[in-house]
Amino acid sequence: MKKQPIFVAVDTHNQKRASEIINATKNYIYGVKFGLEFFCSKGGREAVKKFKNKNVKIFLDLKLKDIPNTVYKAIKSLKDVSPDYLTIHASGGLEMMKAAKKAQSETNKKMKILAVTILTSLTNKDLKQMGSSTNVETQVQKLAQTARLAKIHGIVCSCTCVSTFVLDPICFKSLLVRDVNIFIFLFVSDCAFLAAFIISNPPLA
């Protein structure tokens, strides 16, 4: 059976529940996504390493954001976990993203670094309160362009923003000029939002 371009978000700290979700879906999905809740829980790091052997791709959604050197060292410290995908915040800036990419190239060349643009929980009102004069879609585009300059492998955005890139030929061509895949996150929870990530191979360039 062909696996679908879907990542199941394992939003729990319970390892037994996580195992149940993975076993029930692994034959149909491309991979599973672990966030801070699971990774920071007792035994979470070791559990992620164990689940990597279940023939599914591991998406480690840590959304790293700090000064460039700290992010660089944090990614280097994940060598033993060896996720297939790892997230950072695009809002950390160009130099931080470059540091992340450098750490990836020195630690695990197969791992893909993905830049989170705008969190799905944020609205135009939220951005205004934080001092931004642009709306969500415009900010997503700006952050995606910065990720492109850093040669990050892909971006993460809400499903509603995917059309910004897919339906706008100029934006799409300037951002993603190689083979492109769009993956969808499926949340096994009461989460009200869907998110997607767009990845190009080779990296955005």
CA distance 24 to 31: 12
CB 75 within 8 A of CB 86: yes
Query: Where do the H-state alpha helices sit in 77-195?
Result: 94-107, 124-129, 136-149, 159-166, 169-175
184 strand-pairing partners? 6, 196
Q: Which residues are catalytic?
A: 63
CB 196 within 8 A of CB 182: yes
Task: List the one residue out of 184, 152, 182, 142 whose CA is nearest residue 88.
Answer: 152
CA distance 152 to 157: 14
Where does the chain show beta strands of DSSP type E?
4-9, 29-35, 57-64, 85-89, 112-116, 154-158, 179-187, 195-201
CA distance 163 to 56: 28
